[in-house]
Amino acid sequence: NVLVLKSMKGVRLADFGTACKPESCTLTPYVCSRYYRAPEIIMGLTYGPPADMWSVGCTLYELYTGHILFKGETNNHMLKLMMALKGKFTHKLIKVAEFGEKHFDDSFAFLETSIDPISKKAVVKRVPHIQTLVDLKALLRVDECRSLDEKQKVLQLAHLLDACLYL
């Protein structure tokens, strides 16, 4: 949780209910609110400060745009949205992930899970090639900046978000 000071000149971080020491964290794909959950948490990898930075990046994007960056309905959907922005996960990452087999097959194709609208049953679609479909600068509307100064600031934000949302 992010609390804004009355002066509007600072913020405080609160509610560390899931905070833990890296060596004592239990791997579960449900730590952190879904929209801010880092891919390493979903995939079942050891997590620490980079997962926190992922959440910070998602929060900064939301504060700037008023929209949630990754509005997935499930962890699987979250991974799909993340890869649309950041590209496919490395084979090495998928191989060592505790929950990798839930989302990728032996040849590293993404297993996109959705619910059939008629039968209401889960349907798994194999997606061998993931393309980066979303451009962060376009989401931030860099081209709509009215001045060079504004454009430079938005590009700085894009650079910061790219660093926070590192895979």
DSSP code per residue over the chain = -EEE-TTSS-EEE---TT---GGGPPP-TT-S-GGG--HHHHHT---SHHHHHHHHHHHHHHHHHSS-S---SSHHHHHHHHHHHH-PPPHHHHHH-TTHHHHB-TT--EEEEEE-TTT--EEEEEE--------HHHHTTGGG-SSHHHHHHHHHHHHHHHHHT--
Kindly state the average pLDDT of the residues 71-76: 96
Nearest CA to 140 out of 160, 123, 112, 124 is that of: 160
* Cα end-to-end span (Å), the chain: 23
| Whole-number percent of the chain with pLDDT over 90 | 71
CB 49 within 8 A of CB 43: no
User: Which of 4-13, 58-67, 89-98, 147-156 is predicted with the least confidence, judged by mean pLDDT?
Assistant: 4-13
Kindly state the average pLDDT of the residues 49-76: 94
* pLDDT range class, residue 5, cuts 50, 70, 90: confident
Q: Please tell me the distance from the alpha carbon of residue 46 to that of residue 27, in angstroms, as a whole number.
A: 7
Per-residue pLDDT, 26: 73
The predicted-structure confidence for 136-151, as pLDDT tens digits, reads as follows 999 999 999 999 999 9
Each domain of the chain, given as residue ranges in start order, spans 28-164
Asked: is 28-164 a CATH 1.10.510.10 domain? The reply is: yes
pLDDT at 64 over 90: yes
| Whole-number percent of the chain with pLDDT over 70 | 91
